[in-house]
Amino acid sequence: MIPFLDLNAINSRFEKEFTIAFQNIVRNGYFILGEEVSHFEKELANYLGCKHVVGVANGLDALRIIIRAYIELGLLQKGDEIIVPANTYIASILAITENDLVPVFVEPDLNNYNLDSSKIHFTSKTKAILHVHLYGLLSWDESFYNGLKSKGILVIEDCAQSIGSHMSGKMCGNLGNAAGFSFYPGKNLGALGDGGAITTNDDALAEKVRVISNYGSSKKYFNELKGLNSRLDEIQAAFLRIKLRKLDEDNERRQEIASIYENELKELPVNLPGLFINHVYHLYVIRSERREELKVFLEKKGIQSLIHYPIPPHKQNAYKEFNHLSLPITEEIHNTVLSLPMSPTLSDVQVKFVCENIISFFNN
């Protein structure tokens, strides 16, 4: 059996270090907002090259707190529009609507699955853009986004799937005005539970998100805002510190695996994501009109594949108000994508076995 993602294999590499870190935390008795969180925030800021990192409870909270902070700073207000790729995971949309702002769905580029700036229609209510580096595929039009920032339009990155990717010498999470990260266990940098972070070079925003995430308080028992309880805990921060040291190596292995897929599958009637040095391949996603048949075929061969994602946000029951929208590119993507096994612990033999079976499927 080749699992889609073997978390046991990934995390067992760090078991001794995890055990020592856990024992230290139990013994020192600091479980919330202690030294591990502080160290992780500084180490991640250094890795990304940004000024501020604020640990939060999860990736959704990271995005919704950024937006909430901009509201508190007077840069956004209820009813404002935020541009967002229509094919993103629903968390990107939830962060917008939970703050009483309006998501404006934009079709992605069919080749890289990221926002297609040529399809964006700006209105007087457009106040921000949420750029999602989906699947760990980084695309960034620097002149376009710098132009938006100069006009006062906020540029927020959703880096839930893209940690370690880079463009023109700058890391994702340090390209826009602010960014949200997820450390869900399956991410390239995954915790052993939930976790997230906010990054920015804006002092005022950093201060505001830290207050919001801690009950609206910067001083214990004094509450400036109606905040949230959204904090990265000490144990997860300690584990993330350990795994951060190996992130680049793991991402390089993901690129090697993507290279094998690209070389082995390039002659088949499937769409491949391409091979780019700045991508970190959180997922390796192909497209095929025969997606469902292929998935069943691979399962019978002991190969697990997943669909990211079967239903786009605008067709979800949770967002009935958007069900009427016609977004054919997005809908084509969701109807045809299939994610192949991708993990830094996969061997070349395993990856080639996956490829051999995909080739067999299309040749029969």
CA 14, 17, 23, 29 torsion-angle sign: negative
* Domain limit, last residue, from 228, 244, 260: 244
Structure-block tokens of residue 85: 């790729």
Query: In this structure, are 217 and 274 located in the same domain?
Result: no
Query: In this structure, are 149 and 124 located in the same domain?
Result: yes
Give the bridge partners for 52, in sequence order. Answer: 200
Query: In this structure, are 358 and 288 located in the same domain?
Result: yes
- Within-domain flag for 2: no
Residue 156's H or E segment, with its range, is: strand 154-158
Rounded distance between C-alpha atoms, residue 176 and residue 163, angstroms:
14
Query: In this structure, are 215 and 276 located in the same domain?
Result: no
pLDDT, one tens digit for every residue, the chain (364 residues): 999 999 999 999 999 999 999 999 999 999 999 999 999 999 999 999 999 999 999 999 999 999 999 999 999 999 999 999 999 999 999 999 999 999 999 999 998 899 999 999 999 999 999 999 999 999 899 999 999 989 999 999 999 999 999 998 899 999 999 999 999 999 999 999 999 999 999 999 999 999 999 999 999 999 999 999 999 999 999 999 999 999 999 999 999 999 999 999 999 999 999 998 899 999 999 999 999 999 999 999 999 999 999 999 999 999 999 999 999 999 999 999 999 999 999 999 999 999 999 999 999 8
Number of domains composing the chain: 2
Contact partners, residue 281, CB within 8 Å, separation at least 6: 135, 136, 137, 251, 254, 255, 257, 258, 273, 342
For residue 339, what are the domain limits?
Answer: 247-363
* Domain limit, last residue, from 244, 279, 310: 244
Q: Estimate the crossing angle of helix 90-97 against helix 59-72, to 10 degrees.
A: 30
Structure-block tokens of residue 34: 């202690």
